[in-house]
């Protein structure tokens, strides 16, 4: 039975991979509709021939890697269960100490280490791809350092999460998912509070914006939006990437508006002010808090479904998967696999909500700045810097895009410009 499940698991993954290869490289049409040709949303008007070719090549390969990576994680956890690696991890943990919590930590370390090793080839391919297309400027040693920081941060958080999770399962087999969710609320808020000041600085250097004249313009913009901002931060990213970005993260007194130095180097002041107005819109319209609420709602549903699915799977295939009970630490790979599947399935919904919020932020920004040339120039430069597709395939948009496509964003700005001119002439 274990061989049969393993065979069908590999077969499903191969068929899935071939489908997306065919879809991305042979079926999906990324050409523009006739009415957009020659507009400022047409990449042929602002990218040269080589940039157009590279953006198509890079996007196709990067999208294929995305669609292969997540199901590969599921396949990894499935084979951890089928091959009985969980039994070996638990045995090694039991031989090391009698303390249950420490045993769980040791089990988790081995599982995390094997997962890190299994997914390392895909991670390296992704890194090499961005390097070969001149998106990444990061050295291998710097990239490996970030990977190891990721490993240890995730491992440290998982020690706490898994320890509490299995303590709750042992206390309440029926309602552990509800208690886990209730505890996840303050934990999520705490981590969002820590993110800007503790976790992010482990990867990059943050400091107040050096260009004080530009900072004064940004703070003036913030004052118009009634945002109590005192500083804008910039982060040193040029040694890692040529991409451009700006974002708002954190909550409460730790919330920050952050600009990448690559953005500062490649965009003019008017373009940067449009980006800042966009980020301020998220604050004004409380998108961060709506995002937290949405995440917590989805996590409640996700934990409930995970609990029900785990009970069903272990009841039916527990012996084959070598899981004696839900409250046994050897059920952890199953828990992680189901949760990952549910996150993937729910991503079209969360991306749809995110695209709506980003669209609202774009409209807010152009209403505040009234500078369509700067706004359109910003999106064109973002496209060039990231070798992004202006009009990505439908499945890519649904599963990957938390922002509207560049076609949608630039077209909205052109429509705004036309309407604005009509109103001026009336």
282 assigned binding-site residue: yes
Q: Which residues pair with 246 in a beta bridge?
A: 259
Residues 6+ apart with CB under 8 A from 30: 56, 389, 390, 391, 392, 393
Which stretch of DSSP H or E encloses residue 260? strand 256-260
The answer to whether 234 touches 264, Cβ cutoff 8 Å, is yes
Q: Which residues pair with 260 in a beta bridge?
A: 235
* Token digits of residue 210: 């050096």
358 assigned binding-site residue: yes
The answer to whether 382 touches 405, Cβ cutoff 8 Å, is no
Residues 6+ apart with CB under 8 A from 174: none
The answer to whether 166 touches 329, Cβ cutoff 8 Å, is yes
Asked about 42 being catalytic, the answer comes back as: no
| In the block, residue with structure tokens 């961060």 | 288
The catalytic residue among 200, 234, 362, 417 is 362
- The dihedral over CA atoms of 5, 7, 12, 17, expressed in degrees to the nearest 10, equals 140
The answer to whether 385 touches 243, Cβ cutoff 8 Å, is yes
The answer to whether 57 touches 99, Cβ cutoff 8 Å, is no
The answer to whether 378 touches 271, Cβ cutoff 8 Å, is yes
* Token digits of residue 9: 């698991």
The catalytic residue among 73, 200, 234, 279 is 279
3-class secondary-structure state, position 136: strand
CA angle centred on 165, ends 299 and 196, rounded to 5°: 60
Asked about 362 being catalytic, the answer comes back as: yes
231 assigned binding-site residue: no
Binding residue ranges:
278, 282, 358
Binding residue ranges for Zn(2+):
278, 282, 358
Q: Which residues are catalytic?
A: 279, 362
């Amino acid at each position: 039975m274990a061989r049969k499940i393993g065979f069908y698991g590999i077969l499903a993954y191969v068929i899935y991979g071939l489908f997306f290869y065919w879809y991305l490289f042979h079926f999906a049409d990324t050409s523009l509709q006739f009415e957009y040709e020659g507009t400022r949303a047409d990449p042929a008007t602002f990218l040269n021939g080589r940039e157009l070719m590279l953006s198509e090549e890079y996007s196709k390969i990067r999208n294929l890697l995305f669609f292969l990576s997540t199901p590969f994680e599921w396949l990894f956890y499935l084979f951890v269960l089928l091959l009985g690696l969980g039994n070996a991890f638990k045995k090694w943990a039991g031989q090391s100490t009698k303390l249950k919590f420490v045993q769980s930590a040791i089990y988790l370390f081995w599982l995390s280490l094997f997962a890190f090793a299994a997914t390392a080839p895909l991670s390296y391919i992704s890194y090499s791809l961005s390097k070969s297309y001149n998106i990444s400027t990061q050295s291998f040693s710097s990239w490996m350092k970030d990977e190891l920081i990721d490993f240890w941060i995730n491992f440290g958080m998982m020690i706490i999460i898994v320890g509490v999770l299995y303590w709750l399962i042992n206390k309440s087999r029926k309602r552990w998912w509800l208690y886990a969710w209730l505890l996840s609320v303050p934990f999520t808020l705490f981590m969002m509070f820590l993110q800007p000041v503790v976790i992010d600085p482990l990867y990059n250097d943050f400091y107040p914006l050096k260009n004080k004249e530009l900072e004064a313009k940004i703070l003036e913009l913030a004052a118009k939006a009634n945002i109590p901002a005192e500083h804008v931060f910039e982060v040193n990213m040029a040694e890692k990437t040529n991409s451009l970005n700006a974002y708002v993260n954190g909550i409460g007194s730790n919330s920050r508006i952050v600009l990448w130095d690559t953005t500062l180097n490649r965009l003019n002041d008017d373009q940067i002010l449009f980006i800042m107005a966009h980020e301020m819109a998220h604050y004004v319209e409380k998108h961060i808090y709506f995002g937290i609420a949405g995440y917590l709602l989805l996590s409640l549903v996700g934990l409930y479904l995970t609990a029900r699915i785990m009970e069903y799977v272990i009841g039916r295939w527990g012996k084959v998967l070598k899981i004696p009970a839900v409250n046994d630490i050897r059920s952890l790979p199953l828990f992680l696999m189901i949760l990952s599947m549910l996150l993937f399935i729910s991503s079209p919904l969360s991306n749809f909500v995110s695209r709506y919020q980003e669209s609202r932020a774009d409209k807010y920004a152009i209403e505040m700045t009234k500078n369509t040339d700067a706004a359109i120039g910003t999106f064109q430069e973002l496209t060039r810097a990231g070798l992004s597709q202006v009009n990505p395939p439908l499945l890519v948009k649904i599963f990957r895009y938390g922002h509207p496509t560049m076609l949608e964003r630039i077209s909205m700005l052109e429509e705004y410009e036309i309407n604005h001119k009509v109103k001026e002439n009336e």
